[in-house]
């Protein structure tokens, strides 16, 4: 199977590890054996002006995934929204009402569907590719999350080079490593069977340190500075 997935992650943090805003939406093409991405793209947000309600993220992810999918023609698109793998093009009000999710979740999806349903329907009519809201169960969504963390590290390097220093928080249980010419990211959850990613990046002249976020167990923090 060839699957495109997208996710948003990585946060700019204050000195006290308080989140300021999210940084990177990544879309990935994942193919067998489903351990990393064959291709990845990123769209950076402005963490200093970020809508933390979560609605913006799902929209950004859907639009970026569709853009990548029109290029690489996967069989299906996976979105990080756990509503049982429903096809987004089928999300009319009665279908949303029938989902076994919270009332709050239903309100969010009634709102999201206004933009995402036409997007999904058009893609499906023109290419036969479906968008499914499969969420946490999807390995490609997790790989997209890992890439959002790698791109967050890339953003942090560029920010540190310009402003001297930065602290970012990575997505859940993953680590990154700055290597010459590239950034490698890996899941820290051994149960996932070895998920990882790599992105080219200019890492020269940057010092860095990775350590556990003291306030949020199982999340790592990356500090980067100009040397």
Torsion region of 181: left, alpha or beta (phi above 0 gives left; psi -120 to 50 gives alpha): left
Q: How far is the CB of 4 from its own copies (least distance, A)?
A: 12
Strand partners, 198: 184
Closest contact distance (angstroms) between CB of 189 and its own copies is 5
Q: Which does residue 215 bind out of its own copies, Mg ion, none, counting CB within 5 to 8 angstroms by kind? A: its own copies
Compare residues 60 and 80 and give the one whose CB is closer to Mg ion.
Answer: 80
φ, ψ (nearest 5 deg) of residue 67: -60, -50
Nearest alpha carbon to residue 196 among 36, 16, 31, 61: 36
Which residue, chain included where needed, has tokens 């009332």?
Answer: 103
Q: Which among its own copies, Mg ion, none contacts residue 192 (Cβ within 5 to 8 A by kind)?
A: its own copies
Closest approach of Cβ 36 to its own copies, in Å?
11
Chain residues that interact with its own copies, rule: CB under 8 A: 1, 3, 16-17, 30, 32-35, 134, 136-140, 142, 172-173, 175, 188-195, 209, 211-218, 220
- For residue 156, the minimal CB distance to its own copies (Å) is 17
- Whether 37 contacts 72, CB under 8 Å: no
Residues that bind Mg ion (CB under 5 A): 7, 80
Determine contact, residues 10/150, Cβ cutoff 8 Å: no
| Among its own copies, Mg ion, none, residue 7 binds (CB under 5-8 Å by kind) | Mg ion
Q: Looking at residue 84, what DSSP letter applies?
A: T
């Amino acid at each position: 199977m060839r699957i495109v997935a997208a996710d948003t992650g990585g946060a700019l943090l204050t000195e006290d590890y308080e989140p300021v805003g999210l940084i990177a939406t990544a879309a990935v093409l994942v193919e067998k054996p489903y351990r990393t991405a064959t291709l990845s793209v990123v769209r950076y947000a402005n963490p200093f002006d970020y809508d933390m309600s979560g609605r913006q993220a799902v929209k950004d992810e859907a639009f970026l995934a569709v853009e990548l999918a029109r290029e690489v023609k996967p069989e299906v698109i996976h979105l990080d929204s756990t509503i049982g793998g429903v096809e987004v093009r089928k999300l009319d009000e009665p279908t949303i009402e029938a989902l076994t999710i919270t009332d709050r979740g239903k309100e969010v999806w009634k709102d999201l569907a206004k933009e995402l349903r036409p997007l999904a329907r058009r893609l499906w009519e023109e290419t036969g590719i479906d968008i499914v809201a499969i969420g946490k169960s999807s390995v490609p969504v997790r790989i997209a999350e890992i890439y959002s963390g790698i791109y967050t590290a890339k953003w942090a390097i560029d920010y540190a080079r310009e402003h001297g220093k930065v602290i970012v928080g990575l997505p859940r249980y993953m680590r990154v490593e700055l290597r010459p010419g590239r950034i490698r990211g890996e899941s820290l959850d051994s149960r996932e069977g070895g998920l990882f990613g790599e992105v080219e990046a200019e890492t020269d002249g940057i010092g860095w340190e990775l350590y556990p976020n003291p306030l949020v167990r199982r999340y790592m923090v990356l500090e980067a500075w100009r040397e």
